[in-house]
Structure 1
Amino acid sequence: MIRFTVVGNGMAKLEEAAHILGNKRKPRVAYSRAINHEGKKAGTAAGRALSDQTGLPKSTGRRAVRRNVDRSTPETLTYTIHGSGGEVSLKYFKPRETKKGVSAAPWGARQIYPSTFMKAGWWPKRVEKPNWNRQTFSRKGDGHTYNAVKSNPFVISGQMKRIRTGTAFVKQKSGLFIPMEMVRGATAKAFRDGARGLEARVDHEVRRMTKGVVS
């Protein structure tokens, strides 16, 4: 959870502005407006940084920091961004299937995930399954292949047949968790930079509200 709050001499300025204006709520409205302005700016910058840091699409980075936000009110003077979500599937990291497994690029570093797959069928005649939605899968079980013997009653006499066992499969995950990425690296720096911009924005709002008397 990322939170922006008025700090330093901000509350003292608030009290002084309230005294001059004879109105306690109006300064808090201005403070809240400043917090929301800087919170949104920081969220936009952090969304871009999150995409660069993780290898996720730009649209996904933006949604991650805008999806669950508690904006500031004159009562709370707090802007909170809630990070949520589990381990991200390989689907979101530009996957492509190779003979050795699916190649994908979480954290922007492309690598092979051995024995994973995105298509069905035997090489080289691999086919896409529309209902798989371009997900990457791994087999659950040993998944070995063997030749059926002639004595097998389900095999036509004299025919050898390839049979795969352990065919249940699950979505392959990346090892990357968005909430963890939001509080480290370039994404965390974007939030810190946004917090540093808050004081200047508060000063701007106070000066405008008091016509320059409080600064």
Structure 2
Amino acid sequence: MAIFMARPGGLVRYEGLRSAGATGKSAVAGGTGLVIDVNAAGLHGLADMFAQAVHLAPVAAARALNATNSKVMTQISRVLPKQTGLRVARVKAALKKQNASAGSLVAAVHARGPYLPLSQFGARETRRGVSAAPWGKRQVFDHTFTKGGRFPNRVALQMGGHVFKRLGKSRLKIAMTYGPAIPVEMVKDASREAYERTVARELPGDLNRALGSVMRGF
């Protein structure tokens, strides 16, 4: 397999995978996509088979891509909740499937969304800082807070329940804290591995079945 390379603000490329680069400042993440593209050169042994399929039966090639893409969607929907620390429904709401057609042989799973506030990951304040579980791992974030006043009589701030961190010694300079962004997480680590594994395992069989179905119609 080729190396997965990211260029901030540009394209994330994998031979057979393309995605719009996700950049993050404060709460902005943007969007990404896991793309199965028959015109890309990273499918190795499938390249010749696909070239023939595209020439002889583009409808079959599109069917195969869509069948595999549905399985990719299922797998990353299972992996991302653990990878991000988010609920399944929250992850699925951020994903959208793009189907291939005979005229456009590209199938994809796209994700959009911001970096998510730390408050969405089971945040609770302790004396050391706020405890939260982004990326599926609970940890204490030093010098963060959700309340004001002195322990043990602290009171909730009227700031949406968000987690803040003090910037320097000034009490007035604070910043909201964030956890993962689904578009960023989708194209790396366990999610990327699930994509690669599913395409390698499922696409050859899906292509053979689709070709067989179309050829039987002649």
Written as runs of structure 1 = structure 2, the 5 A alignment for 1:132-151 is: 132-143=159-170
Residue equivalent to 1:198: 203
Question: Residue 109 of structure 2 aligns to which amino acid in structure 1?
Answer: I
2:147·2:156 contact (CA, 8 Å) conserved in 1?
Answer: yes
Find 2:64's aligned residue among 34, 38, 44: 34
Gap regions ≥5 residues in structure 2: 1-18, 20-33, 39-45
Distance in 2 (CA, whole Å) between partners of 1:62 and 1:193 is 20
Larger radius of gyration: 1
1:55 equivalent in alignment to 2:55: no
Q: Deviations over 1:34-67 (max 9, x none)?
A: 2122212202211221221232222233234x24
2:79·2:191 contact (CA, 8 Å) conserved in 1?
Answer: yes
Distance in 1 (CA, whole Å) between partners of 2:184 and 2:177 is 19
Q: TM-score, normalised by structure 2?
A: 0.68
Counterpart secondary structure, 1:191 = helix
* Count of paired positions: 177
Find 1:208's aligned residue among 202, 205, 213: 213
| Identity in percent | 29
1:51·1:57 contact (CA, 8 Å) conserved in 2?
Answer: yes
Q: CA RMSD in A?
A: 2.6
Distance in 2 (CA, whole Å) between partners of 1:132 and 1:74 is 51
Q: How far is 1:86 from its partner?
A: 5.2
Counterpart secondary structure, 2:144 = coil
Residue equivalent to 1:128: 156
Gap regions ≥5 residues in structure 1: 19-26, 144-165
Q: TM-score, normalised by structure 1?
A: 0.69
Residue equivalent to 2:188: 184
Residue equivalent to 1:152: none
